[in-house]
Amino acid sequence: MNAYDIIKRPLNTEKTNILKEDFNQVSFEVDCGANRIVIKKSVEQIFKVKVKDVRTIQVKGKRKQRGRILGKRRDWKKAVVTLMPGERIDIFEGV
């Protein structure tokens, strides 16, 4: 798989902004079949930074109901990447 197939999109929420500022961590939505080693190599290749640690979370989709119709959101995988001191990824800076 391509590195761009592994890293699907960055996550930009209030919690991820706090993690970015305080702990130098960046969050991404990643492919469900990717492991920590592949995620680390993909982030280093795409953003040209050194990665210290990768944590992954399986996010289960919520069940939703609209009237009598029941549905479910999709399951997805989240990766929290800790960067080495002095490294930065400026995804949304200057937007």
Positive/negative CA dihedral, 12, 4, 59, 81 = negative
Residue 62 per-residue DSSP state: P
Domains present along the chain, CATH in parentheses: 3-83 (3.30.70.330)
Q: In this structure, what is the dihedral angle of CA atoms 49, 80, 75, 63, given to the nearest 10 degrees?
A: -140
Rounded average pLDDT per 10-residue block, the chain, 95 residues? 94 94 96 97 96 98 96 97 94 65
Answering whether pTM is above 0.75, one says: yes
The per-residue pLDDT for 93 is 67
